[in-house]
Amino acid sequence: MLYRRCGKSGVLLPAISLGLWQNFGEVDAIANCRDIVKTAFNHGITHFDLANNYGPPSGAAEQTFGRILKEDLAPYRDELFISTKAGYLMWDGPYGNWGSKKYLVASLDQSLKRLGLEYVDLFYHHRPDPDTPLEETMTALNLMVRQGKALYVGISNYGPAEAAKAIKILRELGTPCLIHQPKYSMLVRTPEDGLLDLLEQEGVGCIAFSSLAQGLLTNKYLSGVPADSRAGRGLPNGAITTSGITEETIARVRLLNEVAESRNQSLAQMALSWILKDSRITSLVLGASKPAQVIDALTALSNITFTHQELKQIDLILA
């Protein structure tokens, strides 16, 4: 495993981390969940990414991971870097969503119970809240660290201007922002518009999510939608749907697949390598429905450099 320093901090993260947004809910077989997590850990993936609302139902992924921790990984707690988040709808009423101190503090307490942990290594505010003062949200993150319930804090889905303000407030509070988690893939390149530069300048790490565009940047949708794929299963909560897979996108994906073949990589491997070619990226959070997908991703690490010509070719396909 390749480990990269997270911004200007003491933390090293594996270049590939494992995310539990999908495939770790109540409907998912615990044996497969356990296999995915153990395969990851056995190959040096020390960082596991969760959130209060991962499931379905919300909370289920933390419960599943808590069970695996207790039954399989308890002796290795200090070899693991575990994150969770809050910011999306979690419970009814005015205190179960967005970014108030009331919501975030209660949510972390609930997450710790589900995970069976005394503290998480990293707690994120999951998305910016347009109505709560940023000072209140950041003060809540600072409080969690002071209380010993989180070692580090981060932000996710913040644009560059909001991120700059959050980073400044956290620094003034004495709890530096460890990391930002944006959506970043060959198909979604918004972090290139100022965010990556800001994070580098501020010494904050960056961990990309949905770098395979939920499976679109693999060869699985090239000849239709397989029934056992994420799109084929018709999952709730923002998962990719059949209608999100257009002919136009598949035409580009087909061309990207040809570039991957010329690099002796699968498209999935090239999509991950393409993210990791940038030294401003600390890690990426991979999603996996089977242990074999974790193994496939790890192979990407043996080729994370691109020639100028390959990059130009990819830019042209994506233009």
Ligand X SMILES: NC(=O)c1ccc[n+]([C@@H]2O[C@H](COP(=O)([O-])OP(=O)(O)OC[C@H]3O[C@@H](n4cnc5c(N)ncnc54)[C@H](OP(=O)(O)O)[C@@H]3O)[C@@H](O)[C@H]2O)c1
Of 63, 210, 265, 282, the one binding ligand X by CB under 6 A: 210
Closer CB to ligand X, residue 175 or residue 229?
Answer: 229
Buried b (16+ CB within 10 A) or exposed e, 294-319: bebbbebbeebebeeebeebbeebee
Residue 156 sits in the site that holds ligand X (CB under 6 A) = yes
Residue 58 sits in the site that holds ligand X (CB under 6 A) = no
State the amino acid at position 40 in one-letter form: A
Q: Which two tokens stand for residue 111?
A: 């997450």
**Phi first, then psi: what are they for 153, rounded to 5°?**
-130, 155
Instruction: List all residues 6 or more positions away from 198 whose beta carbon is below 8 Å from its beta carbon.
Output: 160, 163, 164, 167, 204
Closer CB to ligand X, residue 29 or residue 308?
Answer: 29
Residue 282 sits in the site that holds ligand X (CB under 6 A) = no
Residue 22 sits in the site that holds ligand X (CB under 6 A) = yes
Residue 20 sits in the site that holds ligand X (CB under 6 A) = yes
Of 7, 59, 205, 215, the one binding ligand X by CB under 6 A: 215
Residue 287 sits in the site that holds ligand X (CB under 6 A) = yes
Residue 286 sits in the site that holds ligand X (CB under 6 A) = yes
Q: How far apart are CA 84 and CA 150, in angstroms?
A: 9
Please state the length of the chain. 319
Closer CB to ligand X, residue 163 or residue 307?
Answer: 163
Residue 46 sits in the site that holds ligand X (CB under 6 A) = no
Q: How far is the CB of 261 from ligand X (least distance, A)?
A: 15
Closer CB to ligand X, residue 14 or residue 215?
Answer: 215
Q: How far apart are CA 272 and CA 304, in angstroms?
A: 8
What torsion do the CA atoms of 269, 229, 70, 208 make, to the nearest 10 degrees? 40
Residue 253 sits in the site that holds ligand X (CB under 6 A) = no
Q: How far apart are CA 318 and CA 165, in angstroms?
A: 32
Q: How far apart are CA 42 and CA 294, in angstroms?
A: 11
Q: Distance of alpha carbon 207 from its chain centroid, rounded?
A: 6
Total interface residues for ligand X by CB under 6 A: 30
Residue 98 sits in the site that holds ligand X (CB under 6 A) = no
Residue 64 sits in the site that holds ligand X (CB under 6 A) = no
Q: How far is the CB of 267 from ligand X (least distance, A)?
A: 8
Q: How far is the CB of 197 from ligand X (least distance, A)?
A: 20
Of the ranges 161-169, 248-256, 282-290, 298-306, which one interacts with ligand X (CB under 6 A)? Answer: 282-290
- Helices marked H in the chain — which ranges? 30-42, 60-68, 101-115, 134-146, 160-173, 195-202, 230-233, 247-262, 267-276, 291-299, 308-318
Residue 220 sits in the site that holds ligand X (CB under 6 A) = yes
Closer CB to ligand X, residue 172 or residue 318?
Answer: 318
Q: How far is the CB of 51 from ligand X (least distance, A)?
A: 7
Per CB under 6 A, residues contacting ligand X are: 19-23, 49, 126, 156-157, 181, 209-215, 218, 220, 229-230, 268, 285-289, 293, 296-297
